[in-house]
Amino acid sequence: MSTADTNDFFIEQRSSAEIKSELLNEFFKSWCSAQLQGQRYKSNPVLAFIDLYAGDGKPEDGKPATPVRVLNSIFGATDKYNLNKVVRTFFNDEKKTVTARLKENLQQLPYYEELQHKPVLLHEEASLASLAKLLGNDVPTLLYLDPFGYEFSQQLLLQSVRRWGLDLFMLFTPAKLRAAVQGATDDSIMADVFGKERLQRIREFCDRYQDAGQREDFMVDQFEDVFREKGYKTFRFKISLPKKNQTSHYLFFVSKNDAPYMKMKELMLMYSDYQEDGVPLFGANIKHQLSLFQEQYRYSIKNLIADLAEKRSYYHNLPIDSIYRHHNIGTNYIRGNYKEAFEALKAAGVVEAINPVSRQPMRKVSFTSIIGYK
């Protein structure tokens, strides 16, 4: 069984602020690395980060607030990318008074004057114009939001889906999703996001089925389809309450590019529950029954073996790592699952592992092996 090191963060019930604080800055750093690797041919790359729930910037439980953590990462970057030169940051909050306090607190940072691009607070009209200009130039952007939050948050969600194609890090509760769907009128932003036909399907489903869990699953699936139909790669992580069969939060990440999607998948591995065969469930505290019958799982080593066995026309003479990077998108499979699957296929005589240098058959499968279908 191939699992990553686990993190017990979700063993306790967590608030949205705690989840955001735990995950967003770590992902921001990985996201920057992935984006800049893709822009290495550009002499002056530009990235943007937007946090629409920034708070006032004061320490949270003795730890720096998320906007401060992000700015610390930008100013203190020591790898080959100078984030201080590259990244533009934009912050906002539902309440203008909170945003005003955030501005004051950020200006107190000891390195504030050395930031090449000062944080922009979006509670002013001129700031909004600056953001619109940047997004209109197709600058790679990571946006953090609650998709069912205040109106400006919903507007940016809608414009991203329609026009900009931003990378979206979304955290929300089932109650927020339910209220947004039930309260959507024909002329509302949510009607534009979901589409009137999809909203009608959701309402008809909820009329037909009374089970709260079925309704929640259907609404979440429909929300994910909004992005899939626009060409996004979608990642979903379900966070249940500890020791309860009840959802606390959903984390959604959507991107039109493989690299950021895979960075999110890699980050969330350590927080995930696993099946007994080593395939992650991409959820925390998920109630599931361990079973000897892997057919019950959508993603399993058994299903992966069967799928790869039929993919000769796609993957013959490709390295395992290349196969993994292509095939894993939109699935729960991780790198180690592919090595295990090809070991089984080799034992069954379906494939052989070839040394990439000598081009001779290998006794054992490794991540550098080239897979030759027989």
* Among candidate residues 284, 304, 332, the one where a domain is terminated: 284
Separation CA 67–CA 74 (nearest Å):
11
Write the pLDDT tens digit of every residue in 153-165. 999 999 999 888 8
Q: Amino acid identity of 167?
A: D
Contact 46, 176 (CB under 8 A): no
- Between CA 328 and CA 340, with CA 334 as vertex, the angle to 5 degrees is 105
* H/E element, 355: none
Contact 290, 274 (CB under 8 A): no
Separation CA 301–CA 274 (nearest Å):
12
Separation CA 217–CA 310 (nearest Å):
31
Residue predicted with more confidence, 91 or 79:
91
- Between CA 354 and CA 363, with CA 360 as vertex, the angle to 5 degrees is 65
Q: What is the mean pLDDT of the chain?
A: 92
Residue 2 has pLDDT above 60, yes or no: no
Same domain, 78 and 192: yes
Same domain, 274 and 253: yes
Separation CA 204–CA 221 (nearest Å):
15
pTM for the whole structure: 0.93
Q: Domain limits at 62?
A: 9-284
Residue 42 has pLDDT above 80, yes or no: no
Residue 289 has pLDDT above 50, yes or no: no
* Among candidate residues 237, 264, 284, the one where a domain is terminated: 284
Separation CA 345–CA 352 (nearest Å):
8
Residue 341 has pLDDT above 60, yes or no: yes
pLDDT at 303: 95
pLDDT at 217: 96
Same domain, 264 and 313: no
pLDDT at 4: 52
Residue with tokens 């992005």: 227
pLDDT at 284: 96
Same domain, 165 and 18: yes
User: What value does the mean pLDDT take over residues 170-188?
Assistant: 95
Residue 1 has pLDDT above 50, yes or no: no
Any idea what the CATH number is for the domain that residue 369 is in? 1.10.10
Separation CA 319–CA 266 (nearest Å):
20
pLDDT at 287: 63
Same domain, 255 and 132: yes
* Among candidate residues 250, 284, 318, the one where a domain is terminated: 284
